[in-house]
A and B are shown apart, each in its own frame.
Chain A
Amino acid sequence: KAGVTQTPRYLIKTRGQQVTLSCSPISGHRSVSWYQQTPGQGLQFLFEYFSETQRNKGNFPGRFSGRQFSNSRSEMNVSTLELGDSALYLCASSRTTSGSDTQYFGPGTRLTVL
């Protein structure tokens, strides 16, 4: 059974640009969550989508947005990139959004902002 896939795996952008990251969940999983991982802040929750609706949102500025498609694939967008947005962006999928459901992570997208 294929795991969570994320594309691209690596990305280099400059300040002020925008970026779109993609995530394909495990087959049959309808919930997709996004996390940012940095050495200083660790893993922090960005947002969760279920059935194309945002279920929950973390404490990040409005420059961070996402969406989910009818096939459960999800994208996240960061506009007006800042140096501090350099991080590993992780996507996780689970069957439901009921809480206490196991989330399985993808390999991540490493974003570097110059």
Chain B
Amino acid sequence: EDQVTQSPEALRLQEGESSSLNCSYTVSGLRGLFWYRQDPGKGPEFLFTLYSAGEEKEKERLKATLTKKESFLHITAPKPEDSATYLCAVQASGNAGNMLTFGGGTRLMVKP
């Protein structure tokens, strides 16, 4: 069974204090790993897709990396507007179609 575990569940940072969120996964075969951001009361907003170990992608203060067992979302010098829940999801090669298996998310709070 495909499993995705995110840690920590919640993270409080001061503005400018860099940190990393972890996403550990167990899948039969990885087609893609996705990072989303979700604000309260809204749908998840797409951030990155990673396909193979060693791959990295960046967007503003965010950088996502991928190994064979986990992915990290690095947040550099965060701002209060980065506060949100960050979700990690995988697509497994054993599943037909676009089914995503999600982790529980990391709730990030950035204080000014």
Contacts and interface: CB of A to CB of B under 8 A. Distances in A.
Contacts, number: 78
B98 A90 contact: no
A43 B51 contact: no
A104 B104 contact: no
A77 interface: no
Interface of A is mostly: strand
Interface stretch (A66-74, A79-87, A92-100): A92-100
**Interface of chain B, helix or strand or loop or mixed?**
loop
A55 B98 CA distance: 9
A55 B46 contact: no
Contact of A99 (B31, B44, B89, B101): B31
Given A43-B87, A99-B91, A102-B49, A48 B43 contact: no
Interface residues of A, number: 29
Nearest to B89: A43
A52 to B, nearest CB: 14
Bin chain B's interface residue count: 20 to 34
A43 B81 CA distance: 23
14 contacts: A42-B105, A45-B99, A56-B98, A94-B98, A97-B96, A99-B32, A99-B95, A100-B51, A102-B34, A103-B46, A104-B46, A105-B44, A105-B46, A110-B41
Interface of A: 4, 31, 33, 35, 42-45, 48, 50, 55-56, 58, 90, 92, 94, 97-108, 110
